[in-house]
Structure 1
Amino acid sequence: MYRVLQILTDAEVAECRRIAASAPFVDGRISNPHNKAKQNEQLHEPAAYQKSSDLLRKAMLRSPEFMEFAFPIAMAPPMMTRYKPGMKYGAHADAAFIQLPGATIRSDLSCTIFLNDPADYDGGDLHVSLGDGELSFKLKPGEAIIYPSDTFHQVMPVTRGERLVAITFIQSRIPDPFRRTLLFELNEVAALEGLKMDPENYARMQLVQQKLLRYWGDMP
């Protein structure tokens, strides 16, 4: 029910880091003053935020694997956040609904895109609780982890260096995570093996795919 994807090119990572280095960040609680678990900074300057957000969003939407795994219908503008020594984000679940200018989206999936080398900082691992399992992620620059928004997760304290990431939230066309994962796996099998099948059976598989998408799809 989670996926690690390569989202950004090296050039896009470099551009995000350049924007971050030249723009002001503010206390991350500016967007949620009552969140005591949140101890980080977020990009605040409007022009820099818009530029980086557009870059990150376009990169995500051009990724076939992201589109096939998330079935996105809406996405919050990706925002760069950073953690300096001593900063962390305590265990929490993301809000069910995210208020955006002119719209509200349901957060089915959360996404963290890593922007600097894991060797540049100590700590700062993203811990996600999935069932009885505890998963830890500290990915390479340009890689993203996508996971259900209704899971407990936390960012461990940074003890050296600086952790730079971008975060966003996605409303999926398939809100149920079990159904979404099942349809993703079925689509993967069809893409990898479909042309080796008897044409009639392949057509039948495609019919099943589309029926499930119609039946489980939240909205067009």
Structure 2
Amino acid sequence: MYRILPILTEAEVAECRRIAAAATFVDGRISNPHNVAKQNEQLHDAEPYQQSSELLRQALVRSEEFRNFSFAYALAPPMMTRYKQGMQYGAHADAAFLPLPQGTIRSDLSCTIFLNEPDEYDGGELHISLGDADLLFKLKPGEAVLYPSDTLHQVVPVTKGERLVAITFIQSRIQDPFRRNLLYNLNEVAALEGNNMAPENFTLLQLVQNQLMRHWAETP
């Protein structure tokens, strides 16, 4: 239901941090004034936002692991956000649909990319509730966690230092999370064991993979 992935190189992390250090951040509620749970800041300046967003987007789409896990069809422009001491983001589920200049997308998966060292701030964990499980994430710079957008999640209050991350949302070709995870696991088996199978069995497995993709995917 969730996946931790290496996304950015050290150089890309450094570039994101350089952009963030020189750019203006504003109250995160500028994009959602009625969200009382939201207490953070987001990158505001147009040029740094476009520059960092494109860097982050390219890093995501070049990742084979990201593509394989998400079956991404559309990707919201990634945005850098920061949490200073005392800031947090209370429990919430992400909006089902996101209006964007290129058209509205559905949020099937949410993604947080961590950009600074875990020891640079206290608190600030991403807390995701999956059924009865409470999961806490505080990852290394350049690592990302993908998780279902319809789950309750929050950012624990930052008690010291500053938390810098980027967030984005993904519309998957396969909306149903059970089907998406089933097909992901089937594809992993094919990739890992295909060469060890009898050719006729591997061909049959590939047939099943493509039949399920053809039947379940909403769009090419």
Q: State TM-score, norm by structure 2.
A: 0.99
| Partner SS, residue 19 of structure 1 | helix
- Give CA deviations for 1:53-95 in whole Å, capped at 9, x if unaligned: 0000000000000000000000000000000000000000000
Structure 1 residue ranges without an equivalent (≥5): none
The residue that corresponds to 2:159 in the other structure is 159
SS at match of 1:116: coil
Q: Which residue in the other structure is 1:214 paired with?
A: 214
Structure 1 match to 2:174: 174
1:35-114 superposed matches below 5 A: 35-114=35-114
The whole-number CA distance in structure 2 between the counterparts of 1:51 and 1:81 is 15
Q: Which residue of 1 aligns with 2:120?
A: 120
Opposite residue 89 of structure 2, the aligned amino acid is Y
Give the distance between the partners of 2:130 and 2:219, measured in 1 at CA: 27
Distance 1:56 1:192 in 2: 29
What is the aligned length?
Answer: 220
Alignment partner of 2:99: what SS?
A: strand
1:122 deviation in Å?
0.1
Q: Which amino acid aligns with 1:37?
A: A
Superposition RMSD in Å: 0.4
Residues 115-173 of structure 1, C-alpha deviations (whole Å, 9 max, x = no match):
00000000000000001111000000000000000000000000000000000000000
State the one-letter code of the partner of 1:104.
Answer: T
- Give the whole-Å Cα distance in 2 for the aligned partners of 1:68 and 1:183: 10
Q: Residue 204 in 1 paired to residue 210 in 2?
A: no
Which letter maps to 1:121?
Y
- What is residue 7 of structure 2 aligned with on the other side? 7
In the TM superposition, residue 29 of structure 1 has moved relative to its aligned partner by: 0.2
Alignment of 1:123-142 (within 5 A): 123-142=123-142
Q: Any idea what SS the aligned residue of 1:100 has?
A: coil
Tell me how far 1:102 sits from its aligned partner: 3.2
* Correspondences of 1:11-30 after superposition (within 5 Å): 11-30=11-30
Q: Which amino acid aligns with 2:25?
A: F
Q: Which runs of 4+ in 1 moved over 4 A?
A: none
Identity across matched positions, percent: 73
Separation of aligned partners in 2, 1:136 and 1:178: 22
Matched to 1:172, the amino acid is: S
> C-alpha separation between the residues in 2 aligned to 1:56 and 1:8?
8
TM-aligned CA deviation for residue 218 of structure 1: 1.2
Aligned to 1:146: 146
Partner Cα distance (1:27, 1:143) in 2: 25
Question: Could you tell me how far apart the structure 2 residues matched to 1:58 and 1:173 are?
Answer: 19
1:219 and 1:67 mapped to 2: Cα distance? 15
Task: List gaps (5 residues or longer) in structure 2.
Answer: none
Question: How much does 1:26 deviate?
Answer: 0.3
Match of 1:32 in 2: 32
Structure-1 separation of matches of 2:132 and 2:176: 19
Distance 1:102 1:125 in 2: 32
TM-superposed CA distance for 1:219, in Å, is: 1.2
Q: TM-score, normalised by structure 1?
A: 0.99
Which whole-Å CA distance do the structure 2 matches of 1:5 and 1:153 have between them? 19
